[in-house]
Structure formats: C-alpha cells, structure tokens
Amino acid sequence: MGTLVEPALLLLLWQSVWALDVPLEIRQPPTIMKQSMKDHIVDPKDAMVVECEAKGNPHPIFSWRRNGKYFNVARDPQVSMRRRSGTLDIYPWNNPEQYEAEYQCIASNEYGSAYSNKIRLRLYRAPVWPREVLEPVVVSAGLPLVLSCDPPPGPPKPETYWMSSCSYARPFNWPVQTAFPTMQPVRPDRRVSMGVNGDLYFSNVLFNDSAADYCCNARFPYKNVIQQKMPVVVKVLTTRTVAEAAPTWLSPTGSSSSILVLQGEELLLECIAAGVPTPRIAWTKNGDDLVASPGIKLKNFNKMIQIQKASFDDVGEYTCTATNKIGYIQHTITVRVKAAPFWLEKPTDLVLAPEENGRLLCQSDGAPRPTVSWFINGEPIEVATPQPNRQVSGDTLTLSTVTAANTAVYQCNVSNEFGYLMANAFVNVLHATPRILGARNEFIKVIEGSRPLLDCRYFGSPVPELRWSKYGQGNLEGNRFKTHRNGTLEIKQIRVEDQGTYLCVVSNVAGRDESQVRIEVKEPTLIVTRPQSMKVIRGSDVRFECGVKADVTTPVTTTWMKDKNHATIGWRISLDESNLVITNVNRGDEGNYTCVIKSEMEQKSASARLMVMDRPDPPTKLELSDPYERSVRLRWVPGESNHNPITEYLVQYDDDDWLPGKWRNLSTYPGNLNSVILHLTPFTYYEFRVIAINEIGMSRPSRPSTRFQSSGAPPDVIPKNVKGVGTWRNNMEISWEPLTYRQWNGPHLKYLVWWKRRDSREEWKNATTKWLKYYIYDADTFTPYDIKVQAVNDFGLGPESPVVIGYSGEDRPLTAPLNLRVSDIESTQVTLHWDSVTRGSMMGELKEYKAYYWRDSSQLRWLRVNRGMKSKAFPDNDPEPSGVLTGLVPYSNYKLYIVVANNRYEGPPSNNIVFSTPEGVPSAPRSFRIQQRHLDSIYVDWDLPAEPNGVITGYSLKYQTVNATRGEELRVEELTPNVTSFSVRRFDRYTRYRFSVAAQTRIGTGEWHTEESPHYTTETYAQDQVDITTQGWFIGIMCAVALMVLILLIVCFIKRSRGGKYPVREKKDISLEPVDDKDQEGSFDYRSLERIARISTLTYPRREEERGLQRGQSSMEAIMKRSDSDDSLVDYVEGSEIPFNEDGSFIGQYTGARRDVRDLDFGGTLELNSPANTIYSLA
C-alpha cells in the first residue's frame, strides 16, 4: 500500500512545486524560450535567420551544431550571432547552398545545458516552369482528355488551379475577337475535374471545350508567388453523332489501390471516370454507404472524399462506383493510418529542496509506438556520470533524496519512423526563503454577489506553507473560501459583510513573507429594462430601450455597441437618455445592438437583434454542368433572403455575340430550388444570371455565369419565302430568306436546294450551297418548276420547306396590242380600248398593259406646255380590256400608245393615236397683289391663270370688309378678259377687305384665289414714304462730299497764303522744254517743287557753283529761305532771259513760256524734311 502512496505524494509535491513561478533572479539552469521550426525554409536572397532564445541565471552561453558537428560561428564571415542571444544571422553573398543543413542550438550555464530541436534549413528556390511551346491537343468529341500540370516541386508544395482564355490569341473557332485576355477559372462539374495531382480531367470532350485555351497555375505559399504554365489549345473534332461509352477510370487506374496517411493530416480520396454520358460516382466504406459528416466531406460532385484530420477511425476500405446507362465499374482504396509521436504528458521543470524527492514523466504515443531516450545536458543518460539516487524506468525518471549534484537540464526524446519529439526540463536543487511575487497591499472594489480573486503568487524552497486570514485572525478555508495552488484566494458570492482587510502569509523553514488586500463591496448595477429584438421593413423607425439601476455612490455610463463596435451617433441614429433611436432604417443598420452599462468595477450589457426585411441579395457562384444539345444545368448559391423568404427565382440570359448586355427573361422557378435545367437553342453562346424575388421586391442580378456554348444539332427552322424567278430567258433563280445565326444549331450552315419540272416524271435534282440563291440554267422559257429548300449543318439535315412553284426566265413579248382607240373624251379624262394579246406571244406571265401618253400642245397657240411622257398600267382582268386615263389637262392635244408587259420585259408599242380634250374651267389667277397707293384706297391686280384650260371670257371679283363694322354685303364685280386690276375706296384707315378672284371660260368659273388686305394705317403709310434724310447711304455720301470740300478749302487756303512770292534763280544756258505750269489765275504751279524732291543730284548754275565753293551743298530749308527773301524766280525760255517787274514779279508769266523746274541742274541732293511737303503733294 505504501508503494502506491509514495509516488502519489511525490507527484503531488512535484505538481505543487511546478505550479510556482521561478523568479529569474534565482539561480537556475537554461530554458529554451524560442526556436525556429523543425522544417525552416528561407530565401537566400534575404538574410537567413535561425532563431534560438533562452533564459537562465547566470545568462546562458550559446553554441551551435551543424549536421551533428560543432559549428564555429566566429570563423564564418557570412554568419553572426546576436548579442545575449543564440539567433544566427546568415548573409549568404557567396554559395548559399552550403548552409542547407541540420542545425541544433545549445544554451548552457554552470547549472546545465538546454538543447533546441534539430532545425532543418532549406533554401527557397524560385519556381520556374519551362518556357516550352505546347502543341495543340486534338481530340474527337466524346473522348476523355487529361491535361497534365506537373508544377515545380517547391519547397513548399504549391497549390494548383486551372484557368481558361490565358493568352491573347483566340482559338480558330472563337466567335468574338477581343483585344485583351479575359482569364476565367475553370469551373469543375460532373464532367470536368481538377485532380489532387493538379491535372485537369475531362470525362468526355464537348465541342465548346475548344472555345478557349487552358493553363495550369501554381501558387507557392512561402512568397505567395503564382507561376503560369504555357497555355495549351484544345481542338475538338466534331462528328454528327457521339458514340456512348461505358465508364473507364482516369484516376486512379485499375481496380484497387492503397494510401497511407499520418494521423492529423488531411486525407483526400478521389475517383475520376470517363464515359458517355458522364458517369456518376458513389462511395461505400467497408461495404456500407458513406454518409457525409462534419469530419468527412464529399466534394467535386462526389468524386472526392475530404477528411480534414485523419484518425484511426478512418482506416478501412473505400469503394467508389462509376455508373452511367451503359454500365459501371468499381475501384477499392485501402486506407492505412499511422501516427508520428505525440505527447501524452510532457516533462516539466522541477524545483526541489535538498533531500526532497521528484520525478520527470515523458509519456507519448504513436503508430508504431515511439521509443524513449533520456539525456542529461545533451549527453545520453547511459554514458553520463552515474548517480545512485537517479533511476530511469521507460518514460519515467525518478530522483530521490536530491542533492545539488542533481541540478541539470534533462532531455527526453521520443521517436518512430515518422518523426520525433524532444523536450527540455530542468531540475533545480536549492534553498530559498519564501517571497510573495507581484503587487502588495492592494485595495480593490468588488460587486456584491461576484467571485473576486485575491492574488498571492509566491515562491520558496522547500515549498512554503500558505495561509489566508481576515484581519490576521483565523484561517479562511472552506464554505465560500477556496485557496488555489498558486496562492490565489477565491471568495464565492461575496457579501457586504465580507468587506475588510485580508492577509496572505507564506512560510517555510527558511522564513516567512506576507501581503494584505483590502476589499470594498458595492451594490450591483442592474439593467431593469432590456432592449427587445425587432424585425422591421426597411425605411421604418425603431427604438431600443435600456433602463438602469445602480449603486448611488457609483457613477455609471451608458454606451451602445453595434456588432462589437461603437454605434455611430448621427442624424439618423440618436440617443434619448439611455435609449437608442434609429430612423429610416436600412440594410446597413441590421445587426446586434448592445446596451453597455459601465462603472469602475463592473460592466453590464443587454443585447437585442435588429433584423431589416428587404429585397433578397443576389445569388452567387453560378455554375453550369451537364451540357447537352438543348439544355444545361444551372446551379447557384442563394443569397441572403433578408428575413423575408425567397418565393421564386428569375433566370435571364444573354445570347447576343455582338451587342452583349441585352438580357432577356428565360423562365422562373420556385424559391426552394437552386439547381434547374435550362432549355436552350443548340449551338448558341449563352450567359446566364439569376434574380431572387421575395414579397419586398427583386434582388439585384447576380454576376453572369461563365460563357457557355450549347452543343450542336440539326437545324429546326424551315427556310422561308422560297421562290423561283427567272433572271434571264433560259434560267431560274431560286432564293429564300436566310436562317438567323441563332437558328443555325451548328457550324457550317448550308442549304440543300431541290427542284424538278412541274407535272413531269423526272427525278428531283438537288444542289448544296452556302449562299442565299441558286441558279438553274438551260431551262425553257417561262417553264414551271417544283422547288423546295432545307437547311443543313455539320450535325444533319433540317426539315424541308413546302413545295412552291417557280418559273424560269421570261423573254420580250412578241406582239403589241391592236386596235387602240379612245372614247368618252372629257376635259380631264378619257377611256381607252384595245384588243387582248394572245398568251402564246407573251413569252411569260401577262402582268399588265401600260399606256404611254404625253401632252403634245395646247389649243391656245400662245401657251407653252410640258411634253413630258407619263404612263399608267392597267391589269389584265377583262376579256375586253379597257382603262381610263385621268389627270389630263383640258383644251389640250394628246398623243398615246400602249404596250403589253410581263414580269421582265415590255412588248413592242402599238400605233400612236391623237386626241384633244375639250375646254374646262381655268386654274386660279397668278400673282395676286394687294397694295395701298393712297390713304383712302386699296388697289388689287393679278395675272392670267397658269392653266387657262380654254379661252378666258372674263374675271369675277368678290370683296367684302373683314371687320364688317359697317355691315356691308358681299360685292361682286364682273370684269372683261383684258381687265386684271381693281381699286376700292376705303371708308377709314382701319377698314380691311377680303378679296376673291376667279377666271371664267365658257364652261364656267374656275378656281378662286382668296386673300385679305393687310392692316394699313396712316402711320404705316407714312412709314412707307421713305425719308431720304434718315437713310444711312445718304448720310455717308453727304459726309464724303463735306470731307472733299474741306480738303479743297485747305488746298486753296495754302495756295492763297503764298500767292505771287516765288524763288527766282539765275538763268542758265541749258536746253529747255516748254511746260505749262500756269493755273487758271496765272500763278506758279507749286507741284513743281514735288518734282524737285525726286531729283537726286542736279548741277548748279555757274554763279551758284561759285557760291557752292563757299557754303557747300544747300539743303531744302536753305532754298526755301532764299525763296522767301529773294522774292523772284528765274525762268528760262528758249535760252533768253525773261524780264521782271520792279517789284520782282514774274513778267513772263503772261507773255513767255517757262521751263520746267525739274530740268534745272542743282549741284547737290535736295531733302524734303518739312511737314509742308505733304501739303505741297496734295496741291
């Protein structure tokens, strides 16, 4: 009995000591606190870090082993160890592969050595797929297909998935070319699967599988890098029929296989089968049907079993069965489960006083059962220094009557073929006086009825004795008081009388320590009115109430939370005291609302849920499966009903290749369905979307499904409007309306045309064409044929159209109608008669008779007429054909002939006949005008009618006042043919008249022309009399005249101001030309000075040369000064001198001729700088 109790007492002692915290200031062996994972993957492009952190007193010293041997970190220039740590920093600028190894960290001090796990360091290598060009995969429709992925191996192992439409180049049969790729994930269904190995499986291939290319993508989780394999194009060869096939296995192969999985790992079992129709998969386990459970999931349309964490209960035989209407096959997978070592009880640190006993437990399990090895400071216990008080028995290490020599770090290693576990635990033998850890002399406030915990964590060796008391009296244990192993005192259902000071005392043989806690008990806070959950329609108002009762000495605050976040107070959400009010609720307001009452000691809350009824959310994850010629299965995940049940779903489709986005309603389905069969048109591209409907309204449309093309089928539609018409005399054109693209039902639509001669025994002839017309040649003229047309595509023939009758081409009729004559000639119409043409001469179908006629002249010789030809057709509906020509002009001469016409040609013309129409009534007079030539009269006039239609015998004029203030009667004036005007006297300036005029022939009065006079007044008349003085053109002319007069006056003033005073020069014997420079008054012409300015250099006279030697060249100003002072001018006439008067005036101006001043020779250049030159130029 004692042998059973002693281990129990030792275990209890070890547990109580283990529960204590060992302060770091107490000497102790090392403890590993942090280390890298066993399988450590690093990127060589970055600094490689291998972690190892430990504590101890004294602080540990770190060292490393690499591949089981000592690793000298100090000698490697690419490796360093962090200060007061064992963590390695490796900077591999050269040959990083040399650091791929197994590392182990050792933390040591004078009391022992702790070892880390063996860390396997592996380098991450960037995954690269070979840039190979994959040839297109050609496969016939209905056969299975496997596209391999083969991703780079890692590490770590990548996640694979498949995408379609991966490149810019579209396959040969893609109907719409887009500028950018639109990658889409490949959606698995019963026919298409992604295997566990990453391959893409097609149980059977359909034509629309070639609508895009495919590429495998691998995601590597270490760097979150995605690599894409080169796309592969699938070309599906279509056939008219796809042969049905029994199931065969694609993965796994054969009839049986086995799989080994470790306990806790994910187990995936898959069975993928080929066949037509697509097989269905069912599973059994050990002969019983497999039912899905929380731990076992059937995925990928029953083709995969997923067990998240495998256990020994999952061992067994799993049989998958693939079935279609042709047959079935089975495959059995045997599952075996093994287990790497796992802990049952892990060894923990021991703190013992000398002479105490203790033990370390290292309990584990696994499959197969692991072996246990013990180490002391990393050295196998078998080779360590023997100690008589230490015993090892399997997974238990026992220490009795310990001494300081037993202080060390003990390692326990458990391993089997699938892995290992290692744990460090130290044994620390020492004497330590009791001490209380943490805060002392606390003051706390608690709520009545609560369970306060009074902390008193302590340490000591041997294990101290702990005692709690109130006011230092007695021992608190039992009833409502409980002392935990770590020293904490728990008071259950505290009362007001429990208020006071509590004392914690710890003691052992080495000493004692104590701490006190003072408690104050308060009345609890209560929520007396709790908020109630509500369900409202969007747009309503809600109010959550929250009534509070609390201790009068304790202040409380009220806050509202929505879904664990503070409610945002704004214009819609407000507080009314402690109540929450929300107006015009919307979907965003839905959630859990919590009223939080908080004081310094406690926090109370009460919650209520607000549910807002609204239109449902749109469905998601639309998936298409089971495609056939005229149907496909559509699945979706229903959206939230928003607290109002979904009553039905509306499925819409878009089949427009050129103008996408035109959605049409397909059908509606009950609200409890999320998988339906859609009936479609063959060989058509579709996109689908689903709308959910409840009593509130319709949801937003879902995202469109993937683009889908239904399988092909023979055409269903008969070509319409089939007809046969000849385009030449010996052929026939057979035409029809084309089928729309949606009516093709398959690729390469053509038309099969059938024909044979009507009422003959010949066989039907046929021809196939892709056009909308077909021509038959070498046919007799206008021969009837039976015709029918049917559409055909790669999947077969469509229905035949009804037989219609067509005719070959027509030729020109051979004869003209005879005996053309007229009767019943009236002013505007005449009746025609002619003899019928025989059917044999028509050379086709008699369509009509057509009369051509024209107005040759008028019987009024002075009237010019339009001789344009007109025609009128008459159907052949009478054995004695006739017709009426209408719209003729009276009193005119006409010519006429007639032809017969078939559908293509007109025959030769008949003989021309001439007829004349009698007089009629004329048209309305032209150019009717109303004028006011005087204030008291109105004048009207007009011209002859455009069409007199006879001899004009006179005019009839009617007039009457419009306002009728005087009550005048209608007046009629009969005028002779030569009178085309009339004048009416006005009574006053406000009188208006209505005039009507018509021409007359002997037949009668023609068309009337009616018009009202304008509103003439005195002011209007005055405005009609133009005042020329106010016209702009008149004012402009007057201004121009005034300007010209002003200029002339200025010129005259200048001339008068200088009259009789001219510069006189000595004559010179030079040749002179007679020039008349006199004006009307005999004065000198000053324009000669302008001509002087144009002379660049002139030779001076002899006397001026002498003066020029003294003063040089004279300027124009000097000449002008001399002109003012000399008061004379030299003129030359034929080499003789002209006498001057005594006052210096020019005597010769009346008697002699003068030479032009421009002929004078001056020895210098004259410059005209005076502003007067401009005036001289004008003069």
Express each pLDDT in 498-516 by its tens digit: 889 999 999 988 889 899 9
**578-588 confidence digits (pLDDT tens):** 899 999 999 88
pLDDT for position 967: 55
Contact partners, residue 283, CB within 8 Å, separation at least 6: 289, 290, 298, 302, 305, 318, 319, 320, 321
Half-sphere exposure of 630 (CA within 13 A, CB side): 8
DSSP symbol at 1005: B
Identity at 386, one-letter amino acid code: P
Contact partners, residue 1026, CB within 8 Å, separation at least 6: none
* 92 upstream amide cis, omega within 30 of 0: no
DSSP symbol at 860: S
Q: Are 122 and 41 in contact (CB under 8 A)?
A: yes
Angle, alpha carbons 512-516-518 (nearest 5°): 170
Q: Give the Cα separation of 263 and 308 in Å (integer).
A: 10
Which phi and psi (to 5°) does residue 541 adopt?
A: -110, 140
Cα 963 to Cα 929, 958, 960, 967, 1015: the distances in Å are: 20, 16, 9, 9, 11
pLDDT for position 20: 56
Q: Which three-class secondary structure state does DSSP give residue 891? A: coil
Sign for the CA dihedral angle at 921, 923, 926, 932 comes to positive
Please choose, from the candidates 420, 418, 218, the residue with its C-alpha nearest in 3D space to the C-alpha of residue 338: 418
Q: Give the Cα separation of 911 and 1007 in Å (integer).
A: 37
Half-sphere exposure of 781 (CA within 13 A, CB side): 14
Half-sphere exposure of 776 (CA within 13 A, CB side): 29
The neighbour count for residue 568, using CB atoms within 10 Å, is 9
Q: Are 190 and 203 in contact (CB under 8 A)?
A: yes
- H or E element that contains 1104: helix 1102-1111
Please choose, from the candidates 283, 325, 276, the residue with its C-alpha nearest in 3D space to the C-alpha of residue 303: 283
DSSP symbol at 1168: -
The neighbour count for residue 1084, using CB atoms within 10 Å, is 23
> Which residues, listed in sequence order, are joined to residue 981 by a DSSP beta bridge?
941
Q: Give the Cα separation of 23 and 458 in Å (integer).
A: 10
pLDDT for position 177: 35
Q: Which three-class secondary structure state does DSSP give residue 542? A: strand
Cα 1026 to Cα 929, 930, 933, 1021, 1032: the distances in Å are: 21, 20, 14, 10, 12
pLDDT for position 1075: 39
Residue 676, token pair as written in the block: 């339906």
Query: Got the DSSP string for 81-101?
Result: E-TTS--EEE--SS-GGGG-S
Query: Got the DSSP string for 399-413?
Result: E-S--GGG-EEEEEE
Q: Give the Cα separation of 209 and 143 in Å (integer).
A: 12
> Which residues, listed in sequence order, are joined to residue 594 by a DSSP beta bridge?
561, 607
Contact partners, residue 656, CB within 8 Å, separation at least 6: 662
Q: Over 722-776, what HEC string results?
A: CEEECCCCCCEEEECCCCCHHHCCCCCCEEEEEEEECCCCCCCEEEEECCCEEEE
**698-734 confidence digits (pLDDT tens):** 999 999 999 888 888 899 999 999 999 998 888 999 9
pLDDT for position 833: 93
Query: Got the DSSP string for 264-298?
Result: TS-EEEE-EEEEESPPEEEEEETTEE----SSEEE
Residue 911, token pair as written in the block: 């003989």
* Mean pLDDT per 10-residue section of the chain, whose length is 1179 residues: 32 40 87 93 89 94 94 92 93 90 95 94 79 82 89 78 69 38 80 91 88 83 78 83 88 92 92 93 91 86 91 93 93 94 92 91 93 94 90 92 92 93 93 86 89 89 88 81 88 90 90 90 89 92 91 87 89 89 91 91 90 92 88 93 93 79 91 92 90 94 90 91 91 94 89 92 92 91 93 92 93 92 92 90 89 93 90 86 92 94 91 93 91 83 91 91 68 90 81 89 92 69 50 85 92 78 41 39 39 37 38 37 38 38 39 37 37 37
Q: Give the Cα separation of 36 and 105 in Å (integer).
A: 10
Residue found by looking up tokens 């119409």 in the block: 829
On average, the pLDDT of the chain sits at 82
Long-range pairs for 417-422 at CB < 8 Å and ≥24 separation?
A: 417/368, 418/262, 418/338, 418/339, 418/340, 418/341, 418/366, 419/340, 419/341, 420/341, 420/370, 421/341, 421/342, 421/343, 421/364, 421/370, 422/115, 422/117
pLDDT for position 23: 84
Burial 182-192, CB ≥16 within 10 A → b, else e: eeeebbbbbbb
pLDDT for position 182: 67
Cα 162 to Cα 328, 623, 756: the distances in Å are: 29, 16, 57
Q: Are strands 245-251 and 267-270 parallel, antiparallel or unpaired?
A: unpaired
Query: Got the DSSP string for 561-606?
Result: EETTEEPPPSSSEEEETTEEEE-S--GGG-EEEEEEEE-SS-EEEE
pLDDT for position 160: 86
- H or E element that contains 80: strand 79-81
Residue 1166, token pair as written in the block: 């004259």
> Which residues, listed in sequence order, are joined to residue 735 by a DSSP beta bridge?
723, 773
Q: Give the Cα separation of 583 and 589 in Å (integer).
A: 10
